Chains A and B, each alone.
Chain A
């Protein structure tokens, strides 16, 4: 099972989605099951009221109601909320077309109807196993409907203000070198430097000195700052300043608005 679904557009752009595993999907299903039970209870109460008029009719409404809710809940919510049910919303999951195209109604319907097979012989055993062995973590319903379930993990940035607080950064005096550094350092290396700082207290003193020396040497080779800016600066402080330049931009005010960011993952 891959953990990512990569889609390459004809324009040569690649974007990826994190595939949801069986555990996360199971949790979302439990939430949805609770919602179905609550709605069915509500229908049962309505049925009791209707029972005053006709007990037969009330029982019929309750039977049909439960049947429609148990099948229609997933179909209706996934279609109305573009691939999400209440459980999926809570766990940041979304059903999407396997090729990244617009989700069609017949896809939503088919994957929900095939739950009857995925649930065999009980507790989604067939679906769970299919999910585990599938290349794209698909249960049988997803397979037939050409859909996948993706997870939009919440991105949590370390508290850089706390990590880098109160330190004068002499490298900021050279904006052209700062820009060059931001341009030349690939994302993976930037993350590595950040992680080294975040987890520095977990390292042995000797290993800590050695690690930051290696990192500093590398970043100095990427962009060379004037000697007066780095004079007598310990390696760890150098990396701290580099991370400050890479992650604490002065462009916060022009980043996408929170409302726009909320739609990430769609």
Chain B
């Protein structure tokens, strides 16, 4: 009960100001180590401001004061009741080398589902083009119209060409590939919000296109060309899309919540950092894939031997499997190693 508002404000204001200064320091540097005495003082001030707000809440004529105290209480509440790990400063190399593979392994089940969907999609696309000549034209979108032609004819043209068709545009081509692939990956992950259904459709559709192209070139007797063309960038690009799908499926699973008794908000809260790690890892992979596709994959024999390109792709794939599947860090938590 406040009888004398003037005296109340005069008495309490130093505490409000002190709490506000503390909040400003905390917000300016979230990684600051706070001494125990300061934490205790912060908690005391928060409780005092909460009590002041309770007293002012019923007071008729001080809406501004009430709003001010509400704001102060809300900011302090966010700091006091935040139980999630504050985290350490962002270290890009450590994050990519340790955190990314760790999260990949933690959510490996979703990757496996992503891989199975892709294999099924590729088989579907492969059978479609093997059994029906018109399937290619019906399924391939306009942006891939160059793949509608006879593969053998394309190979002959590429090998005969005196200059690479993207000569002088390699950087631009690489940047366009990166932007497009990263956009597709984000989209694939984001579609997880449809309880994973959108992610599954997106993965399946991409896999159908891939399966069609592979079988089309194989049936035309151009398997070596196709491997030399796709492998240098594909062994990174395709797993990157699968990892994006992995993220989308993790999101979908959290939304469905089957077998998890935690409330929806808690489930989403738990997977947020993992999704962030996965999509950042995918971005790095796609930057690499874009550079390789533009500067290596588009060169064919006689400029570069196919076996060299296939060997390069094989080494990349082996390195990726080791990096994501087997690389352990001394700082990795025990539960992740299990």
Contacts and interface: CB of A to CB of B under 8 A. Distances in A.
B207 interface: no
Contacts of B60: 182, 185-187, 189-190, 246
B75 A266 contact: yes
Interface in A195-240: none
B70 A182 contact: no
B82 interface: yes
A15 B174 contact: no
B168 interface: yes
Given A183-B2, A260-B20, A15 B70 contact: yes
Contact of B68 (A113, A146, A189, A260): A260
Contact of A109 (B183, B268, B276): B276
Interface stretch (A28-36, A55-63, A85-93): A55-63
Contacts of B68: 256, 260-261, 264
B265 A11 contact: no
A146 B75 contact: no
Contact of A13 (B3, B61, B73, B75): B73
Of A12, A109, A144, A265, the most chain B CB neighbours within 10 A belong to A144
Given A254-B13, A265-B71, A104 B272 contact: yes
B288 to A, nearest CB: 14
A261 B2 CA distance: 21
By secondary structure, the B interface counts as helix
B64 A59 contact: no
A17 B77 CA distance: 14
Contacts of B67: 155, 261, 264-265
Of B13, B178, B194, B276, the most chain A CB neighbours within 10 A belong to B276
Contacts of A256: 13, 16, 64-65, 68
A174 interface: no
Interface residues of B, number: 71
B172 interface: yes
A82 B62 CA distance: 27
B183 A11 contact: no
Given A13-B53, A114-B190, A251-B9, A155 B71 contact: no
Interface string B264-295: 01001100110110010000000000000000
Interface string B4-19: 1110011001001100
Closest 9 CB pairs of A and B: A190-B60, A60-B171, A60-B175, A59-B172, A106-B276, A106-B272, A67-B179, A63-B175, A117-B190
Interface of B: 1-6, 9-10, 13, 16-17, 20, 27, 30, 47, 50-51, 53-54, 58-65, 67-68, 70-71, 73-75, 77-79, 81-82, 84, 168-172, 174-176, 178-179, 182-183, 186-187, 189-194, 198, 251, 255, 265, 268-269, 272-273, 275-276, 279
